[in-house]
Amino acid sequence: MQYFPLTDKQREEIKKEIGIKDIKELFSDIPQEKAWYSLDNLPNALPENELLKRFEDLGDKNTYSDYLSFLGGGAYNHFIPEVVNYLSNRSEFLTPYTPYQPEVSQGSLQAMFEYQTMMAMLTGMDFSNASLYDGGTAAIEGALLALRKSKKNKILVAENLHPEYMEIIYSYVQNLGIEVEQVRYNRETGKVELDELKDKLNSEIGGFVFQSPNYFGVIEESKEISDIVHSEKKAYSVQVVAEALSLPFLTPAGDNGVDIIVGEAQSFGLSLSFGGPYLGFIAAKKEFLRQMPGRLVGQTKDVDGKRGFVLTLSTREQHIKRENATSNICSNQAWCALRAGIHLSTLGKSGLSKISKLNHLNTAYFVKEIEKFDFVNVKYKKDFFNEVVLELKNDNGIEFLEKLKNRKIFAGIPLKWFYKDADNQVLINFTEMHNKADIDLLVKEIGDLK
Amino acid sequence: MSNELNILPELIFEISKEGKVGYSFRDIDISDDLIAIDKSKLREDIKDFPELSEVDVVRHYTNVSKLNHSVDSGFYPLGSCTMKYNPKINEKIASLKGLNTHPYSPTDCVQGNLEIIKELEKWLVNITGMHGFTLVPAAGAHGEFAGMMVIRKYLESKGDARKIVLIPDSAHGTNPASAHFAGYDIKEIPSNEDGVLDAKTVKEYLNEDVAALMMTNPNTLGIFEKNIMEIADLLHENGSLLYMDGANMNAFMGIVKPGDIGADVIHLNLHKTFSTPHGGGGPGSGPIGVTKELVQFLPVPLIIEGKDGYSVNYFNDAGIGRIKNFYGNFLVIVKALAYLMALGKENVSKVAEDAVLNANYIREKLKDVLDLPFKSKTLHEVIFSDKDLPVTTLDIAKRLLDYGIHPFTIYFPLIVHGAMMIEPTETESKETIDAFIDVMKKILDEAKKDPEYLKGAPYNTPVRRLDEVLAARKPVLKWINEENEG
């Protein structure tokens, strides 16, 4: 088999060298009554061409590409320049381990340092780490970071946080003695109820986790929120971003007084890939440095005075601090962060501005066009980024989406999946990959449903 | 020295020039009048953000990439990391357009993808003897966390969550950290002079507060925990569970099933044993397998195979809940399945056989020149110490870089002085290993003749020894535009 370079002759030579006759002698510590099992239920080896064919056939069983999709909700279909695939697939980037030997890992380390810098620029924060698993786990890491810093064990979370992120937060805290309380959103604006936030905030609260743009696509009042949170000592605002492409379009979190920003950066050069691998990010004000979870790359000098990069401040991490580490994360999403760095460099300042704006304008165009029908209604008409909630007067969301699916359109996500009181609401996403004709078609097909 | 002329690539920000464009995309065809956001919320400019042409980006990242050592460029015997060859066909398969779907697609439109997940679950069930798997965890540590949460949920369902998790002194740091985040206190348990856990010692540590023992098997010394069945019995009699860290499953995949020797929960690392590339630190994938009693506590989503195809349970009140978005690191799952299908059932045990053969060959060839702190049989890796050497493990590691070889894992496990943990894997040829052995002997010879020279190594790498103290003392974690300063 092609993955085994030893020849039978060499195997015999090695056996002789180490003084064994039978390979089984090497495994004699293993309980022999249980060893050497058969794998009869599994298939035989597939040659390369048949292997490829097998997966092409599996791909053909997915009928996804037959549909025009407006699915978003934390996973977005964006343009990826080909150089991102080309460069990230260089085996120098793809096949090394974590850069434990910096002298021969400057490639990974420099790329991570550049990624950290770009994320700090986009978020307006003092620093970023080198990646977390995904948006949902980044949300809980952000919450835990705020609590570590505040030395409190109660946190407020906005009700309109991505429902999966919310579930992840509840899963993680269940054994940590941390209390989570939700702050409702306003049913008219889709935004966090600021009065309720004020009411629920007290000296026991370590922070407030909110999403902007929130799960309904609406941009929150981050500055006001941060001001309210800061009225309490040692309470921190944690902004979650599930659509990183909103970062180049909107006032940076740092300028709004946000303390910690976390989220999902799949939109930066990672394909939909049925949900992974994606890219969790976290950036914060410098006062959070020593409490940060995950890897950090820092600049330094070698013995000749040359600039170089190393993994740094690792006394926060599990391999040193063990159970007292800031997080248990070890392997992260380094290669995804590399792709994000390449993607961001390729689009550059102008590309990011243009494409993020196009996302918003496509959405705004839909909002304008759909106004002509009175049996559907865009629920939050102001301050959306690239997603809107459509309210249906005659239909429930699941049936509405099923009808459009029959017309070869995935028109969105039924909010009924996650919210009890949202039977007749669907979440629709528009990106730069949709052109006017796609949106016109969606509007026409919705119109035909009347 | 030789690297005087070796010029490092600049940072991407330093080669940026105002007005350069590196992409092409259609122009905006919708009027700005439709903007539905307050001006105060819109961003004006991303200060200092790169502006480059496409060729600038390509040259930059190409030159940066060349500063890396990788599996594809040379030997990488990093112990406990299983740096095996990453098959190229798997990259092609992971890039197939047909697999690239949205995670919220209606399930009848992604049957192929759901089949991929279920197929890999089946392979792992058959290889490990566990009853059920989840492929959701994003990495080994994430799997450990999920596994410990499952254990806790199970014990709670019996009315007794318990407080303590026992962890051997040779364990990876992620074990105690993961157990801690599942709400447990950690008690460290010593291994014996043979480098393994004694059943007698385990018994002494057991009481009604012990929820589980986390055992890496083979352990980080490369030694099979031969008392595992006896220890599992003791744990089970005590109402405790056995968590097996399968980071080193490459050592006995196809030889013995963890489920047959007492493990209640295990995690595997698809980015180690199952050949998916490490990508400079991730993405990984850390599936967990559990016994029949524990299946109901696995995280969501769960894929169900029925008569009419595959469906998804996106919610399950009995379980630990959701620990990650969507279905896990799906493309990593795809590559691992492709690897196993290429191997076929007939080659699974051969992986372990060749991996163990290669490691024992290195042990045999170096045992006379390096101290072997534990004499027990070792499987997929061998650990030496720097006892009685005129230089340290670090010096040897750095000198290896000059010879184009990535060093082994150093100073781990902590119970060995100056540990050198060498794991060659099955995908290395005898020629490569012979060359490594020769280089090691040469370096040890150099160390005797001129230890000072080794302390200055490496000499031939893009940068030389880096000042890690400076990096930590005055952290510089992003590029600063000096033109804006002062």
DSSP characters over A219-263: PP-HHHHHHHHHTSTT-EEEEEES-GGGTTTB--GGGGT-SEEEE
Q: In the numeric block, which tokens belong to residue A79? A: 């343009």
Interface test with A, best of B52, B61, B249 (most A CBs within 10 A): B61
Say if A170 is an interface residue toward chain B (CB within 8 Å): yes
Could you report the per-residue pLDDT of A19-71, keeping only the tens digit for each?
A: 999 999 999 999 999 999 999 999 999 999 999 999 999 999 999 999 999 99
Q: Any idea which residue has 């089984």 for tokens?
A: A24
Contact A347 B23 (CB under 8 A): yes
Residue pair A107/B279 in contact (Cβ under 8 Å)? The answer is: no
A90, A104, A116: residue with CB nearest B69: A104
Phi, psi torsion values for B267, nearest 5 degrees: -120, 150
- The one-letter amino acid code at A50 reads E
Q: What percent of chain B has pLDDT over 90?
A: 96
Q: Which of A63, A24, A6, A78 is nearest to A266 (CA)?
A: A78
Q: In the numeric block, which tokens belong to residue A406? A: 């029959």
Q: Is the peptide bond before A81 cis (omega within 30 degrees of 0)?
A: no
CA distance B458 to A302: 11
Q: Where are the beta strands (DSSP E) in B349-415?
A: 382-384, 409-410
Helix and strand totals (H; E) in chain A: 13, 15
Q: For Cα atoms B390, B393, B394, give the angle at the middle one, nearest 5 degrees.
A: 110
At B485, is the pLDDT very low, low, confident or very high (cuts 50, 70, 90)? low
Contacts with B98 from chain A: Cβ below 8 Å: 56, 58-60, 62, 65
Residues 403-422, chain A: which have Cβ within 8 Å of B? 405, 410, 413, 417
At B267, is the pLDDT very low, low, confident or very high (cuts 50, 70, 90)? very high
Q: Any idea which residue has 């492929």 for tokens?
A: B135
In this prediction, residues A145-155 reach a mean pLDDT of: 97
A46, A71, A352: residue with CB nearest B102: A71
Contacts with A140 from chain B: Cβ below 8 Å: none
**Given this model, what pLDDT does residue B157 score?**
96
Say if B176 is an interface residue toward chain A (CB within 8 Å): yes
- What string of DSSP letters covers A342-360? HHHHHHHHHHHHHHHHHHH
| B12 to chain A, closest Cα gap in Å | 7
How far from chain centre, in Å, is Cα A391? 27
Q: Which of A390, A382, A381, A379 is nearest to A425 (CA)?
A: A390
Q: In the numeric block, which tokens belong to residue B362? A: 């290195």
- The one-letter amino acid code at B93 reads I
Residue of A nearest to B82 (CA): A97
Could you report the per-residue pLDDT of A310-367, keeping only the tens digit for each?
A: 999 998 888 888 888 899 999 999 999 999 999 999 999 999 999 999 999 999 999 9
| B238 to chain A, closest Cα gap in Å | 22
Residues 224-283, chain B: which have Cβ within 8 Å of A? 224, 226, 228-229, 252, 254-257, 260-261, 271, 275, 277-283
Contact A133 B324 (CB under 8 A): yes
Q: Any idea which residue has 């190594």 for tokens?
A: B457
Say if A40 is an interface residue toward chain B (CB within 8 Å): yes
Q: How many CB pairs under 8 A join A and B?
A: 680
Asked whether the CA dihedral A392, A393, A398, A399 is positive or negative, the reply is: negative
At A406, is the pLDDT very low, low, confident or very high (cuts 50, 70, 90)? very high
Contact A361 B11 (CB under 8 A): no
Collapsing DSSP to helix, strand or coil, B310 comes out as strand
Domain coordinates in residue numbering, chain A: 65-79+349-448, 82-343
- Is pLDDT at B2 greater than 70 in this prediction? no
Q: How is domain A65-79+349-448 classified at the CATH fold level?
A: Aspartate Aminotransferase, domain 1 (3.90.1150)
Burial (Cβ within 10 Å: 0-12, 13-18, ≥19) of residue A330: buried
Task: Give CATH for domain A82-343.
Answer: 3.40.640.10
Q: In the numeric block, which tokens belong to residue A138? A: 């980044």
Burial (Cβ within 10 Å: 0-12, 13-18, ≥19) of residue A394: exposed
| B131 to chain A, closest Cα gap in Å | 14
DSSP state of B187: E
Q: Any idea which residue has 């290195």 for tokens?
A: B362
**Given this model, what pLDDT does residue B5 score?**
55
**Given this model, what pLDDT does residue B6 score?**
66
| A405 to chain B, closest Cα gap in Å | 9
Asked whether the CA dihedral B216, B218, B222, B224 is positive or negative, the reply is: positive
List CB contacts of A33: < 8 A, sequence separation 6 or more: none
At B1, is the pLDDT very low, low, confident or very high (cuts 50, 70, 90)? very low
| B409 to chain A, closest Cα gap in Å | 9
**Domains in chain B: ranges and CATH:** 89-345 (3.40.640.10), 347-471 (3.90.1150.10)
Phi, psi torsion values for B252, nearest 5 degrees: -145, 25
Residues 421-440, chain B: which have Cβ within 8 Å of A? 426-430, 432
- The one-letter amino acid code at A340 reads A
CA distance B382 to B396: 16
A118, A176, A277: residue with CB nearest B331: A277
CA distance B264 to B18: 59
Contact A364 B100 (CB under 8 A): no
Could you report the per-residue pLDDT of B367-401, keeping only the tens digit for each?
A: 999 999 999 999 999 999 999 999 999 999 999 99
